Structure 1
Amino acid sequence: MLNYPNIDPIAISLGPLQIHWYGLMYLVGFLAAWWLGRRQAFQLGLDTDAIETLIFYCAMGVILGGRLGYALFYGLDNLVDNPLWLFKIWEGGMSFHGGFVGVLVAASIFARKHSLHFFCLTDFVAPLVPIGLGAGRIGNFINHELPGRVSDVPWAMVFPNMGSAPRHPSSLYEFALEGVVLFALLWWYSSYPRRTGATSGLFLLLYGIFRFSVEFVRLPDPQLGFIANGWMTMGQLLTLPMIIGGLALIGWSRYQPINTAKMANV
């Protein structure tokens, strides 16, 4: 059994101003996407200013979509009882799947504005995402969030305020898979010419498999519990369409041209 590191969730405290590690992890993700996107701007035939606009659009999609998705998927009762609860972001609560939809909406708007094929743009964005996913999971770990199920594996940890039983550090599993492994695979895969939609499909498929798998050792959300068949969690239910969509997109991409720098929107 490993000791759970005692890290203060508040990274910086200046009087009434408190900056949390979780918020800083979002900043790390956005900055990484900005830096990598500027380096790869030539792939879309855009200048760095346009890439900065793209990252801003996607950041707004992550924040707005992530919060709204959490409210709809995980906190609908709170939202119905008090609609203003939606704006209490300091209480926590962000959904990857909501943020994912928000990014798709932002990408669609940007693609139309710059006359880009939607899937050419998502192929560009997909490899920029995993660093932010991994950083967010580190933020979850520091915040004592996403505890795993009770386990006797050697690396199990006793989570604060979760009793004395050791548990899977499921947020670290997600950091490794959704962050490190997903980034390495997508960055390598996208470094070679690929057919339009292939990189996007691979992102959907791999993320879906990784998330679905880790949910088996992660505690279901306490307000929901298991939602189907006595074992399926909300995270798994929301991830199934990603796996199916990834397979479909990879199949569709086989009949598409090699992804070029810029294509007319269709």
Structure 2
Amino acid sequence: MAAYIDPTAFTFFGIDIKWYAIIIVSGIVLAVWLANKEAVKVGLREDDITDFILWALPLAFIGARLYYIIFDDWRYYLENPLMILAFRNGGLAIYGGLIAGGLVVYFFTRYHFISTWKFLDVAAPSVIIAQSIGRWGNFMNHEAFGGNTTRSFLEGLHLPEFIIDNMYIDGIYRQPTFLYESLWNLLGFIVLIVLRRRKEFFREGEIFLSYLLWYGFGRFFIEGMRTDSLMVFGQLRVSQLLSAVLFLAAAGLIVYRRKVVQSPYYDRKKEK
């Protein structure tokens, strides 16, 4: 069996630097770069993206942490408040970050007189590719895995040895749900990037809504395979429930905006 991956990449002046952090930051850097390139094409400024990130990034991390704490065991964190800051080994929930980031988008675009839908369209492909990359941080932390399986099953998926070997967790092989979601998000990124370049295929806001459809659909089923889900009301997987809500809401908004609002087509050359 190959060496078990150490979640710590290296130590710098006595501080352990985790692979999780390196991978998450790498995904964010790529996302910002892609968003900057697309922003210019739709009449926004690179400064719009930079200014937004300065607000959104810290608040998204706070949102991701609070979401995890609330649905994990908030009583434990009330009794051990210092553990609220102990997130370097994980404990960030992407939906919490998306909710916080969405709120920042709304107020930021209103303040700067930018179309909220246009801004969300720019952000959506960048967000989903960052999510795809970020799941590898979960892999390095040996988390976000699924139920019990066998080595022969994993070998049948033609996975690299290092993935198979590191899916041997707590004495048994596990479903690599982190990989399923990473690949699903990567495919979603490709689909969004290809389709948004087709003239008059999307109306404004529908790239973002299509992201919600794609991510919500995949996350609903993948979340059902995981063994470390956050729960609500004792029995319901909170991220699975939220995925279903977002999927239905996005589908409803697409129909409503086309039938009632008559929203304009997505125009990559339209000025702010």
Q: If the length of structure 2 is used for normalisation, what is the TM-score?
A: 0.84
The aligned counterpart of 2:195 is 189
The aligned counterpart of 2:226 is 218
5+ long unaligned stretches in structure 2? 156-163
- Quote the Cα distance in structure 1 between the aligned partners of 2:112 and 2:170: 50
Summarize the Cα distance change of 1:5–1:112 in structure 2 as closer, same or farther, 3 Å threshold.
farther
Aligned length: 255
Structure 1 residues 242-266: Cα deviation after superposition (integer angstroms, max 9, x where no partner): 1111211221332311134356xxx
Contact 1:25 1:132 in 2 (8 A): no
2:236 is equivalent to residue 238 of structure 1: no
- Quote the Cα distance in structure 1 between the aligned partners of 2:239 and 2:206: 24
- Quote the Cα distance in structure 2 between the aligned partners of 1:226 and 1:150: 25
Q: What are the residue-to-residue correspondences of 1:85-234 with 2, within 5 Å?
A: 85-152=83-150, 154-155=153-154, 157=164, 159-163=167-171, 165-178=172-185, 180-192=186-198, 193=200, 194-221=202-229, 224=231, 227-228=234-235, 232-234=236-238
Structure 1 residues 42-92: Cα deviation after superposition (integer angstroms, max 9, x where no partner): 244222222222233332232111111111122322233234432222353
Q: Which amino acid aligns with 1:250?
A: I
Structure 1 residues 133-171: Cα deviation after superposition (integer angstroms, max 9, x where no partner): 0111001011101121012462174645422x3221111
- Quote the Cα distance in structure 2 between the aligned partners of 1:130 and 1:42: 20
Q: Which amino acid aligns with 1:258?
A: Y
Summarize the Cα distance change of 1:252–1:25 in structure 2 as closer, same or farther, 3 Å threshold.
farther
Q: Which amino acid aligns with 2:206?
A: A
SS for the counterpart of 2:9 is strand
Q: If the length of structure 1 is used for normalisation, what is the TM-score?
A: 0.86
Q: What are the residue-to-residue correspondences of 1:45-124 with 2, within 5 Å?
A: 45-124=43-122
- Quote the Cα distance in structure 1 between the aligned partners of 2:18 and 2:214: 30
Identity of matched residues, % = 28
Contact 1:108 1:118 in 2 (8 A): yes
1:258 to 239, 260, 265: 265
- Quote the Cα distance in structure 2 between the aligned partners of 1:84 and 1:6: 30
The aligned counterpart of 2:39 is 41
- Structure 1 runs, 4 residues or longer, greater than 6 Å off: none
Contact 2:145 2:174 in 1 (8 A): yes
Summarize the Cα distance change of 1:242–1:187 in structure 2 as closer, same or farther, 3 Å threshold.
same
User: In the TM superposition, what is the alpha-carbon distance from 1:16 to its structure 2 partner?
Assistant: 0.4
Contact 2:71 2:231 in 1 (8 A): no
Structure 1 residues 76-126: Cα deviation after superposition (integer angstroms, max 9, x where no partner): 222332344322223531011100101101111220122112222111111
Summarize the Cα distance change of 1:168–1:248 in structure 2 as closer, same or farther, 3 Å threshold.
same
Contact 2:18 2:89 in 1 (8 A): no
Summarize the Cα distance change of 1:37–1:224 in structure 2 as closer, same or farther, 3 Å threshold.
closer
Q: Which amino acid aligns with 1:249?
A: L
Contact 2:192 2:207 in 1 (8 A): yes
5+ long unaligned stretches in structure 1? none
Q: Which amino acid aligns with 2:253?
A: L
